[in-house]
A = this chain, B = another copy of it.
Amino acid sequence: MLAMADRRVKDEVNIIGIGHVELLVSDLDRAQELYVDLFGFILTERTDQALYLRNVEDRCHHTLKLRQAGKGGVGSIAFRVSCDQDLERLQRRFTELGLPTRWVAAGEEAGQGRALKVQDPLGLPVQYFASMDSVEWALQKYHTHRGAVPMRLDHVNALVPDADAGARWWMDELGFRCSEYTESDPPESRRWASWLYRKPTVHDIAIMTGNGPSLHHAGFTVKDEMAVIRLCDNLASAGYADAIERGPARHGISNAFFVYVRDFDGNRVEFYTSDYLTIDPDFKPIRWALDNPRRQTLWGPPPPRRWYEESMAVESINGDAMIEMHQPVMRATPNYLLD
């Protein structure tokens, strides 16, 4: 982790929130069947190399990109900033900090203006962009809605060996605020995981302790609990019952009703609903003790071990390799897993 200077990104750049995420898939046809026909994402554009997908609330070109690759994984996570000047400021600042960056030309990612990629201090491939093409809004095209009818990209959840330091980078340097966190008991009081936001929901990114850098999942908002139930029904009748890894159940943290689904490459997607807005300035971050079973599961069966132990490798910003993962500095595997 880098030492931080007096001047910070957050003092000069306005990060609006999570923008899109790129997952790697081995078969675009199968991916289209699963993500479009069953999950219900809207296909904006298909190229030789990728599916560009959006949600029914989105007016932008895409919030999910599925890129043809040899196997599953994560190409990048992207955050939107206010303006093009913010990108310049980010580039200067990251360079000062000695972080590798790369400019992504306008259109290199379909529908997107010029963007900046950085391998951040946690090892995550993060992309910043300020503009994206507008496309038709499907919110009121109800008769075209399918599957879980995903509304918007809500968050990504990253695993890193030192999540306490990792969360401090996102908060202190980038200006993210914390809504909830899990922490070991005093006197150690070390943060095991932090839910961080720029847009006023519970999170744009969660930083959790684990093998990393890696991504645990990308989370998409659905309208209500019944959208989750219907998704499970649809997956089961279409032969994908085993793709349901965990849930439906309710998290204590974020109050979300959720289901986690793994695609055929092991990529993990969460369909998520009923969290809350974080617009109230009196809002104090909620602390959950690490041994409180209600944090993970307000109610519901214990998660399977693979939900805890498996995550998606992330790519280098040059696209030439997957970043090597390391063991966490802190251990907190619950003793109530389902093997």
Which residues of A pack against B, CB within 8 Å? Answer: 16-17, 37-38, 57-60, 80, 82, 131-132, 134, 139-144, 151-152, 199-201, 223-226, 229-230, 232-238, 241, 244, 246, 248-250, 252, 255, 257, 274, 276-277, 279-284, 293-294, 297-302, 304, 338-339
Closest chain-B Cβ to A196's Cβ sits at a distance in Å of 16
Is A141's CB under 8 angstroms from B237's CB? yes
7 contacts between A and B (CB under 8 A): A57-B277, A131-B282, A134-B284, A139-B255, A142-B236, A199-B277, A301-B304
Q: Which of B141, B238, B246, B298 contacts A241 (CB 8 A)?
A: B298
Bound CA span A17–B200, Å:
12
Is B38's CB under 8 angstroms from A234's CB? no
Is B299's CB under 8 angstroms from A338's CB? no
Closest chain-B Cβ to A42's Cβ sits at a distance in Å of 14
Please give, as numbers and ranges, the residues of chain B lying within 8 Å of A339 by CB-CB distance: 339
Q: Which of B140, B284, B294 contacts A298 (CB 8 A)?
A: B140
Q: Which of B16, B225, B302 contacts A229 (CB 8 A)?
A: B225
Chain B residue nearest to A302 in the complex (CB): B338
Q: Which of B59, B141, B229, B282 contacts A59 (CB 8 A)?
A: B282
Bound CA span A134–B280, Å:
10
Bound CA span A140–B276, Å:
11
A279-B17 contact in complex given A236-B298, A250-B232, A250-B236, C-beta closer than 8 Å: yes
Closest chain-B Cβ to A300's Cβ sits at a distance in Å of 8
List of 8 A-B pairs having minimum Cβ-Cβ separation, nearest first:
A142-B233, A236-B299, A142-B237, A143-B234, A143-B238, A301-B301, A224-B224, A241-B299
Closest chain-B Cβ to A155's Cβ sits at a distance in Å of 13
Excluding A140-B236, A143-B237, A201-B277, 15 further A-B contacts by CB distance (< 8 Å) are A16-B281, A57-B276, A57-B277, A58-B280, A80-B281, A132-B282, A140-B252, A223-B274, A224-B224, A225-B226, A241-B293, A241-B294, A244-B300, A301-B304, A302-B338
Q: Which of B37, B224, B234 contacts A142 (CB 8 A)?
A: B234
A38-B143 contact in complex given A250-B232, A281-B16, A282-B134, C-beta closer than 8 Å: yes
Bound CA span A280–B282, Å:
25
Please give, as numbers and ranges, the residues of chain B lying within 8 Å of A141 by CB-CB distance: 237
Is A229's CB under 8 angstroms from B257's CB? yes
Is A235's CB under 8 angstroms from B281's CB? no
Closest chain-B Cβ to A257's Cβ sits at a distance in Å of 7
Bound CA span A339–B246, Å:
16
Q: Which of B16, B236, B279, B300 contacts A199 (CB 8 A)?
A: B279
Bound CA span A68–B320, Å:
64
Chain B residue nearest to A257 in the complex (CB): B229
Bound CA span A37–B143, Å:
9
Is B233's CB under 8 angstroms from A299's CB? yes
Chain B residue nearest to A246 in the complex (CB): B301
